[in-house]
Amino acid sequence: MRYFLVEKFGFPNDSILMLTEDETNPLKIPTKENIRLALRWLVQGCQPGDSLVFHFSGHGSKQLDNDMDEVDGFDETLCPLDYETRGMIVDDEINATIVRPLPQGATLHAIIDACYSQTVLDLPFVCRMNREGLLYMGGPNSFTL
């Protein structure tokens, strides 16, 4: 992903923070706390016109929704390396950390390669495409193309 962002899209190398389990630096291992810090780092100082990329490849899951804000009754989660001892990162927290703080005019590109990730940003709408290519946007401003 780093190569793609730097070489193909011109992102400065020092504007990319990667957490991997192969890291020797303990601050760059994808623990729950490090992922939380990285999410806050991503949006810190964000301005209109900025283009942000959040990429997660790992395990995802779901858990019962305690605050009753999910239609299906489940929160989607990302599973950090230490999720068995520290817990998962819930979609409500992800939304509060990297979606809601974005200023108007900033763009967040989220690439989530994990189970149950379809609504992990907890956005107020869902985009679906059927087999005929018909696009449906569900939410407060629903429409079909």
* CA–CA separation, 56 and 53 (whole Å): 10
C-alpha–C-alpha distance, residues 135 and 71, integer Å: 21
Where would I find the beta strands (DSSP E) of 11-73?
A: 51-57, 59-64
Which of 79, 109, 115, 127 is flagged as catalytic? Answer: 115
Q: Distance between CA atoms of 97 and 114, rounded to whole angstroms?
A: 19
Give yes or no: 127 in active site.
Answer: no
Which residue is catalytic, options 59, 79, 109, 127? 59
State how beta strands 107-113 and 89-90 pair.
Answer: unpaired
* Residue carrying the six token digits 């149950």: 116
Q: Is 59 a residue of the active site?
A: yes
Taking a C-beta distance cutoff of 8 angstroms, is the pair 135, 127 a contact?
Answer: yes
Catalytic residues: 59, 115
